[in-house]
Structure 1
Amino acid sequence: MSQNHTENGGAGHERNRAYDASLRLLAARARSRAELAERLHRKGHADTVVAPLLDDLERAGLLDDADFAEQWVYFRHRDGARSRRALGVELRRKGVDDAVIEQAVAQISDDDERGRAAALVRRTLSRRRAPVADDADAARREQRRLVGMLARKGYGSELAYGVVMDEWRAAAEERAADGG
């Protein structure tokens, strides 16, 4: 850190407080530059302290929007089954630059996205009791619910509908093969 970090009183004291707050926030989880700035401002730290501090944190490698976005995309896609579109929206809300977002979501291929959506539908179908084969209205309602679930996670309607219908057929075939 700079010489100000070790000064006592005045601006040095505020910088120390902002620095300590930054480290606590970053220890909890990675954050974007804009997100950390907003949190520090909310804690009452002046921009004259926050902006240079964030620059120092970036130079030290403790704050990196590209790394943050890459991690965010990886975990939110894997664990939250979010689509590229939904992840882009989330990162934009966190103040990440569009070029950085584009690069981060590019790590998810079309096949990855489709596969993640299919796995989510399979998992959901395995937990629910499927409608009786001759109850077409109940089947359509359940299919609409599944498409809606994927839509809420940011998947486009064409992909969501295709995945739901494919997984629905596969589940029906599996039930038929199992005798039920």
Structure 2
Amino acid sequence: MKPFDSESDALPDFIDPADVPARPAPPAASSAPEAGPGPRRRVEWSGQRSANTRGRGGRGTRGGKAGRRRDREPPADNPDTEPDPHEVARTIVLRQLTMAPRSRKQLADKLRQRGCTDEVAAEVLDRMEEVGLIDDAAYAGMLVRSQQASRGLARGALRQELRRKGVDDEIARAQLDEIDEESERERARALADKKLRSMHGLDATVQTRRLAGMLARKGYSPSVAWSVIREAIADAPEHQPD
């Protein structure tokens, strides 16, 4: 007997033809072009996807961890926490004193403008006085000397200036009492001589009137002013007899 030939239609005698499945019919020839392969579905390797996710700031990246850590950490400054009013007041006072000397009254007014309560302001200013950062007597003495040197002010104008700066009347009086009368008269005479040089050629009456107004604005008393004016005009070269 010949071996089983798959290519032949003949079957061996011991095989029942009913037990052999029928061969599928060959596909019919078609004139339509053979369809190509369908669209490929992109299959992404799970490791690649994880890497891409980490690259975009996912869990695996340092940026992602830092972001989550920042989310967990509370902010450095809690806006709900009220600042210490005494510390705020001290900061305001120190900043003002750094810019220029101030009287206690000036500092209290500034604290009130900034919303500090009078109680807090008083406690802070008292402490500043204890350590010597606020001294109205020293401030008044400095103000008197500077206004005498720069503007030639006398007692009357200096008193008004001290009051305007908030210096207590008793402290101001103590400072003004230290002014020497003779030195004040010398300053008045220097002011009169300087003013006369700018009024050369004017009538003596006009000069007298203008000198009196200038010395009055500087705070000199009428007695000192008229005495100085008479001497200054009499000593002026233009009023000397030929």
List aligned pairs for 1:90-101, cutoff 5 A. Answer: 90-101=161-172
Match of 2:217 among 130, 134, 152: 152
Deviations 1:122-166 (A, max 9, x none): 22223x14126xxxxx22112111110010111111211111121
Deviation at 1:87, TM superposition (A): 1.0
Higher relative contact order (CA 8 A, sep 6+): 1
Match of 1:10 among 69, 72, 82: 82
Q: Match for 2:103: what amino acid?
A: S
Counterpart position of 2:231:
166
List aligned pairs for 1:33-72, cutoff 5 A. Answer: 33-72=104-143
Instruction: Note if contact 2:199-2:207 (Cα within 8 Å) is conserved in structure 1.
Output: no
TM-score (norm 2): 0.61
Query: Higher helix share goes to which structure?
Result: 1
Deviation at 1:176, TM superposition (A): 5.5
In structure 1, list runs of 5 or more residues that go unmatched.
1-8, 133-137
TM-score (norm 1): 0.81
Q: Match for 2:105: what amino acid?
A: A
Match of 2:201 among 115, 118, 131: 131
Number of aligned positions between the proteins? 162
Q: Which is worse superposed, 18-27 or 52-61?
A: 18-27
Q: Compute the RMSD of aligned alpha carbons.
A: 2.1
Runs of 4+ aligned structure 1 residues displaced above 3 Å come to none
Q: Match for 1:94: what amino acid?
A: K
Instruction: Note if contact 2:204-2:233 (Cα within 8 Å) is conserved in structure 1.
Output: no
Instruction: Note if contact 1:85-1:154 (Cα within 8 Å) is conserved in structure 2.
Output: yes
Instruction: Note if contact 1:147-1:161 (Cα within 8 Å) is conserved in structure 2.
Output: yes
Instruction: Note if contact 1:78-1:116 (Cα within 8 Å) is conserved in structure 2.
Output: no
Deviations 1:87-121 (A, max 9, x none): 11221232322221121112211101111111111
Give distance in 1, aligned partners of 2:143 and 2:169: 14
Counterpart position of 2:96:
25
What is the percentage of aligned positions where both structures have the same residue?
37
